[in-house]
Amino acid sequence: MIERVRATVAAALPEGLHVVGPVPLRLGTDCVLVPDLVVTSTPPSVGAPMDAAAALMVVEVIGSDHGAVDRTFKPQLYARSRIPYSLLVDHDAPFAVADMIIGGRYHEYAHARRGQSLRIEEPFALELDLDAATGPALAASAAPVKPRPAEPHPA
């Protein structure tokens, strides 16, 4: 799921922005979180946490197995660190919510549910088709196989 969201975000980014992750993100002297994806103009150094000031948007792709922390706790810390935009994609429901920081708190400015596409214009134009991003992955073995023609047997 994360790779499909990453590919969609990466395709929408204007020149100069990159999507990376999962990457350690330093939110303060005593706080490092690892969001699934980060949109930034400064790619992180290998092995070093990225500073929150370098993050334009954090993206969390969640499910019922780990959603509580990503839905409630992490956004509060991201907002406290003044990361301008947040995107939450729930692959179980599915739904997506885009938030922007206003007055030190995140406020929803776009959302979508199953069968819809999330469309945002800030901080970059993005259209995320929830069915394509959260649907089951197509396995190589699931592709239709054409039967081989029978080989003639010598008479």
Q: Helix, strand, coil proportions of the chain in percent (round to 5)?
A: 25, 35, 40
Report if residue 126 sits inside a domain: yes
Question: What is the SS3 assignment for 106?
Answer: strand
Q: For the chain, what is the mean pLDDT?
A: 85
Number of domains, the chain: 1
Report if residue 21 sits inside a domain: yes
Span of 36-40, 62-66, 111-115, 119-123 with lowest mean pLDDT: 62-66
Question: What is the SS3 assignment for 98?
Answer: strand
| Structural domain containing residue 51 | 2-137
Write down the pTM of the prediction: 0.83
Report if residue 151 sits inside a domain: no
- pLDDT tens for 49-66 read 999 999 999 999 988 777
- pLDDT tens for 74-101 read 999 999 999 999 999 998 888 999 999 9
Q: Which residue has the tokens 């103009």?
A: 41
Residue 94's CATH number: 3.90.1570.10
Report if residue 153 sits inside a domain: no
Predicted confidence band of residue 138 (pLDDT cuts 50, 70, 90): very low
- Is residue 41 over pLDDT 70? yes
How many helices (H) and strands (E) are present in the chain, helices listed first? 4, 11
Span of 15-24, 46-55, 134-143 with lowest mean pLDDT: 134-143
Judge whether 94 and 116 are in contact, CB under 8 Å.
Answer: no
